[in-house]
C-alpha cells in the first residue's frame, strides 16, 4: 500500500532506540533444519499455482490500465517469471515451471546470508531468537 519494500521500512528502523515505556521488538526466525524439504515444498507450491492458472492471472493483471512490470507486486518471484514468459523474454531452453522453481527454490538465501534482506537488516537489531 505504501509502495515501499519491507527492506526500506527495516532500514529506517535499524539502529533506532525505542521510546521509553514501549516494548522492545524481538525478531523470531523459524529456520528448517533440512532446507531440501523447503525447496521441495516451494516447487510443489509453484507447480500447483501454475495448474490453478497463475499464467492467466498474470496476463489478466497486466491487461489492467494501472499495472506495469516495475510494480513491486509484479516483480515477485513467480509473477516475474510468468511476465517474462508472456513477453517472450524468458529462457526458451527450459519450461516456465523449471524457471519458476529455480527462482523460488534454488536461490533461497539462508537466514544468515547477506542476500536475505529482511534477515540481514534484522541482524542489526538487538535481539534475535532462532528456532529450527
Along the 132 residues of the chain, how does pLDDT read in single tens digits?
Answer: 678 887 887 777 776 666 666 666 677 877 778 888 888 888 898 899 999 999 999 999 999 998 888 888 888 888 888 998 998 888 888 888 888 888 876 555 554 444 444 444 444 544 555 555
Taken in order of first residue, the domains within the chain and their CATH numbers are 33-108 (1.10.287.890)
The pLDDT score that the predictor gives to residue 125 is 46
DSSP string, 53-118: THHHHHHHHHTSTT--TTSGGGGSTTHHHHHHHHTT-S-TTS-HHHHHHIIIIITPPPTTSTT-HH
The pLDDT score that the predictor gives to residue 127 is 53
Phi, psi of 48 (to 5 degrees): -65, -45
25, 128 Cβ separation under 8 angstroms: no
How deeply is 99 buried, as exposed, middle or buried, from its count of CB atoms within 10 A (0-12, 13-18, 19+)?
buried
The pLDDT score that the predictor gives to residue 57 is 94
The three three-digit cell numbers of residue 43, written as one number: 516447487
The pLDDT score that the predictor gives to residue 53 is 94
3-class secondary structure, 19 = coil
Amino acid at each position: 500500500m505504501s509502495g515501499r519494500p519491507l527492506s526500506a521500512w527495516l532500514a529506517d528502523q535499524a539502529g533506532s532506540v525505542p521510546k521509553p515505556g514501549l516494548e522492545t521488538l524481538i525478531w523470531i526466525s523459524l529456520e528448517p533444519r533440512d532446507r531440501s524439504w523447503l525447496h521441495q515444498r516451494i516447487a510443489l507450491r509453484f507447480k500447483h499455482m501454475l495448474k490453478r492458472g497463475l499464467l492467466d492471472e498474470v496476463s489478466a493483471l497486466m491487461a489492467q490500465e494501472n499495472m506495469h512490470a516495475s510494480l513491486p507486486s509484479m516483480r515477485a518471484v513467480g509473477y516475474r517469471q510468468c511476465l517474462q514468459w508472456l513477453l517472450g523474454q524468458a529462457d526458451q531452453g527450459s519450461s516456465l515451471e523449471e524457471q519458476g522453481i529455480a527462482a523460488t527454490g534454488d536461490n533461497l538465501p539462508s537466514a544468515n546470508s547477506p542476500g536475505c534482506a529482511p534477515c540481514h537488516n534484522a541482524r542489526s537489531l538487538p535481539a534475535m531468537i532462532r528456532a529450527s
